[in-house]
Chain A
Amino acid sequence: MLALLVASFAVSAISPYIYRLLKARFVWFGAAFPLTLLAAFVLRYPQVASGVPVRERWSWAPSLGLDLSFMLDGLSLTFALLVTLIGAAVFLYASVYLRHYEEADRFFGFIGMFMTSMLGVVLADNMLLLFLFWELTSISSFLLIGFNHHEASSRSSALKALLVTGAGGLALLAGMLLLGSVTGSFEISSFYAMNELITSHPHYPAIVALILVGAFTKSAQFPFHFWLPDAMAAPSPVSAYLHSATMVKAGIYLIARFNHEIGGTALWQDSILFTGATTMILAGLLSYRQSDLKRLLAYSTLSVLGTLVMLLGIGSKLAIKAFFIYLIAHSLYKATLFLVAGTLDHEAGTRDVGKLGGLFRAMPVTAVTAVLASFSMMGVIPLIGFIGKETLYKAVLEVHPWGRVLIVLAVAASAFLVVVTLLVGFRPFLGKPRPELAEAHEAPLAMLAGPFILALSGLLLGLFPDFFVGHLLEASSVSILSERLGIEIELWHGFNLVLLLSFVTLLAGVALYFFRPLVLPRIEQLHFPALLKPSVWYEEALAGMLRFAAGLTSFLQNGYLRRYLAVIILSALVPASLMLFRSWRAGGFAVTLPADVSVTAYEAALALIIALATAMLLKSDSRLKAIVSMGVLGFGVGIIYIIYGAPDVALTTFAIETLNVILFVLVLARLPKFTSRSRPSGRLRDGLIAASAGIFMTLTVLQVTSVGRASGLKEFFGRESLPGGHGRNVVNVILVDFRALDTLGEITVLAIAALGVFALLKLRTGKTE
């Protein structure tokens, strides 16, 4: 599976070039890529269905608990199949849909990365690895949502999605690390038997909270739902993918994945049950007033995501079955409908439902596809959506004691879904052909094939559910619930309460649809306080962060070098002096000068020169004088190094001092006339800072020498330099051999600093030109 993912990433990386090479013929390549992956997963179906997960493990960074370990069980396979099947439709569709986009080539790189990352999420067995892929889906969706980066709204939507899911990702990482510390392992499969250990641990509530925040942000559950409708700024194929098989389903996957391991407690079940139910009904209500095709679909996705989370929260056998069927059904019809919305937008030029109508004659295939998918979404027999809804109602009815409330919510939410389908799947095609849409015509074959096949599979799955998904359901339920369901999936359950509820849902939906023109103006008049909207909170938090950053920057970087220096010195000095003070209090050291202090004449002279140079520097009334005294000062320090046997350091010091003087001379000519700009109070302050830094350094040196800590390092380097590093110059051997990695880091920093200098100077010349 590692090979599969690596190959997939590689193909994604080169697909922009292939696109430029093939142009119109890219359609074939675009479809072949995900279909190959799909075939690879289909081949593994028999083994997974027999109940034996496919495993793979490569060592990566074992000391961190990070290994490239993968597991393909029922749950993973279900997602992998959806990701690649819908991926194939989306790729095929996009290679025609995006033909007129300027940067279409990049798109295929991004979406390939998106698909591969999602596959990585569902295949990874190591939590940290899963997290890596998880973040990759966030990053690639950021690139995709912001694909039309010329538009500010596009960019801010992309940023919103990235910040919300990214913040959730950090919470998730914290939760995973906690979970890892509790279980002593990062392999998800190894948690399987640890439910009791995890749920009884004192960190359990924190783990649940952190992991759920991660999952809820990703799957856009209330109150993090607001980023998803805005993500509609992405091109339609992306929306189709994002909503049906990737990204938002990652959170659902995560909850299902951990359901057995950390679930079963009231905390886990109730949290997801109530969050899911809230999202379900809230999104249903919000969808009612939308008029944009894609936003309508977006809110209905939110509602379904809520339903899925709620079903996991119910957690009974029947609920898991409903979860599973509903998941597949939703993926199929939602991808189809988004692609249909894209086609309408593409061919008719608008996505406003008020402006669409009577397109059946012009676009018959699209219309049939849309209606087929809509029936599945409404839950009409004999499509898979019908089975999904029946099972959902049955599972909700079983819940004690909240069943009655939840069933009302579920029926209401489903009725809103019916309204959405009537608006998206029927209304654009029915009625008389409109004159303003006379130009609309059927889409090319490549844009029709994908959605049609997806809609058709919804029908096939509905007619023969046991044949297509029965085994997968069994294998998945082992992953989610740890036991086999042993329930057959059937299309027809007979005349009962659930069937009656299905009729009620449809009737209510149709009624809501016809009342919509009456109700909408009244909704428009309602004003909700801004405090109730999570998106307002987001905006405020973002703006506040920027204000804080601006304030901090103008305080720390006010443009005066002396402020920078003071900040740097003080922020190092204050904590370090505290440490020194504590060590003194604890009797760590006594400032005692060595008994046999002997100062030679050279040393005394040198000290005098340095002191004189410093005094001259402070008193100097011209820059040239200051530079000369700086030079004297530097060379004096260099000579100290020679006397005390550090020729290497001395050599470097001399070279640096020489270059320093040259640099100063260079800038000297362009500086304004030398004036004494500092006030006495400022000088006093600077003097105090300088003096305390000096005193601190002296004390530190005295402490280090008085303690005489037994460090084996000095002896080790001295001993091993020649035999181990083949060099007699210990300093150099340390730099380039023993601690070469440190040096590599340092020179990298230097290189980045050089780039910074380059950028700053370029900026200035740019201004003058």
Chain B
Amino acid sequence: MNSTTSANSGSTALAFKDQTIVQTLAKNITSLANQLAELKKRPLQIMEVCGGHTHAIYRFGLDQLLPDTLEFVHGPGCPVCVLPPEAVDNAIALAQQPNTILASFGDTLRVPGSANSLLQAKALGADVRVLYSPMDALQLATQHPDKRIIFFAIGFDTTMPGIAYSIQQAYQQQIPNLFFYCHHIRLLPTLEGLFLQPNPVKLDGLIGPGHVSMVIGSKVYEDFVTKTDLPLVIAGFEPVDLLDALYQILLQIEQGESRVENRYTRVVQEQGNQAALKSIHEVFDMDIDANWRGLGEVSGSGVHIKDKYRAYDAQQFINKEEANKHSETQLEPIYCQQVMTGQLRPTQCPKFNSECIPEHPLGALMVSSEGACAAYYQYKIRA
């Protein structure tokens, strides 16, 4: 099956870029942020959890509309950035096996492993392809019955349903040559790992992720918000969405409240997407402790393919001895870890725009288009 989407997006998106609404919101946020900062005697710090939000803030220059009394702190929400080097090494090893096509999402291809990226492996002869939807892997498997097709599946809860559904389809259609190498990370355990620890990141509020929440819903954050006492407002990705969510966070701070608020109701439901969640729970064992680049071991953040679908797990083709050879995880520079966990802004990193640029990234945050450092480098005035 080939999922075909029409790209004739029209005028509905324009309202979310409306100049008057944006400017009014920016004005209201500025006035309230200045007041609150005055009371607190320090700037307010708001984390955008999701890399897509980081990208949108700088793509639309929203930061330039806001006062210095409001600071954005970047969250851990770029799935490409947290991908451990050994996962990339294993994916490359899989791609180099005979008669194999390894497919993945676009920006996975640039992530450095301990020596190479998938893009470099492709240049050296491996058959590596970019797919937009994992469902297209089913078609690829049908087109190449003589080859082993491996989908390198990464991403937060957002991409998990598509992968789970594709695995179910492969199982139902008994497709013998399609496999999945899964490295999914779950957002809520990651947030809990950052904030519910002895020395948590100190913040005033969070812009909740839009795409992840579309799957898991808004209600699941309630316990987290109660425990951290931080306002969390779920936002879409357009300028009006983001500023509106920011304003609601400030209103909560002003009123001394902390609750989950869903301002992306055109996409996110309270209980999430039930069909998507059903597929995920049917295919994956949850709550697996996993190691992530820059975050270390995060309790309960990983997933495994369940026994029922084990035949579709590409782990079976990984040569464990070979994998152990390169599993001595290369240490990410300490600054990357600090940026990823909200302790340092990209421009505060001494390596930013000197030793670390997209041509020579020292860490994955400069590689992925959703990485905070890449977003800063790409869009911020550098002169």
Decide whether A and B assemble into one complex: no
